[in-house]
Amino acid sequence: MAQAAWWGRIPFRREPRAGMESERCPSLRTDATMTSDDDKDLFRQAVTGARRLQHNRHEPSRPRPDARAAFRRADERAVLDESLVHDAAELGVETGDEIVFRRPEVSDAVLRNLRRGRYAIEDELDLHGLTAVEARQVVREFLGSAAARRLACVRIIHGKGRGSGPRGPVLKKSVNLWLRKHESVLAFCSARAPHGGTGAIYALLAK
């Protein structure tokens, strides 16, 4: 007797007749309908008397910065600015005064050549329009870059300070102070008249 094909041995599920589930479990449909109606009634009772909130306030998108922190930074900047001016003022440099400085290892001949402008100016920096705090950072970066490039002589224009009031030439005094403390500066002096005179300096740098 020939065996039935493999698909003839697969059991199949008999589909229920239409209306069979409703006939066998009428309570399921009734309970679900009742539960849904009860939930709706409870929700309506819970929200009875509720009203939509109305306001015209604008919520900030981000918190405001602390005003005290801003004032503190401004105070610290002002204190630093005043301290720089005070330290520079001790050098007693006036508007028309020439400034000269050299380290012990710099000979008289080298300083004389520097004052006469005999060394080629390889780069320059103009500090006009800057505060003492801003100028200090710019001068530090400028000298660091010049030293990295192994430059020998640069010019820094600090101005004559005629608009500085009773404090005198602030930037001129400050540059005079900063360059004395910078390790890459061997000597500096006021420039010759064609290069700015007492409003600029030549700086000789260590290679």
Torsion sign (Cα): 134, 135, 138, 141: negative
Low-confidence ranges of the chain (pLDDT < 70): 1-36, 53-96, 161-168
CA 25 and chain centroid, separation:
73
The domain ranges of the chain are 68-205
The second-level CATH assignment, the architecture, of 68-205 is 2-Layer Sandwich (3.30)
Query: What's residue 48's pLDDT?
Result: 78
Contacts of 93 (CB under 8 A, 6+ apart): 99, 168, 169, 172, 173, 176
Query: What's residue 170's pLDDT?
Result: 85
Q: State the CB neighbour count (10 A cutoff) for residue 146.
A: 20
| pTM of the predicted protein model | 0.55
Amino acid at 131: T
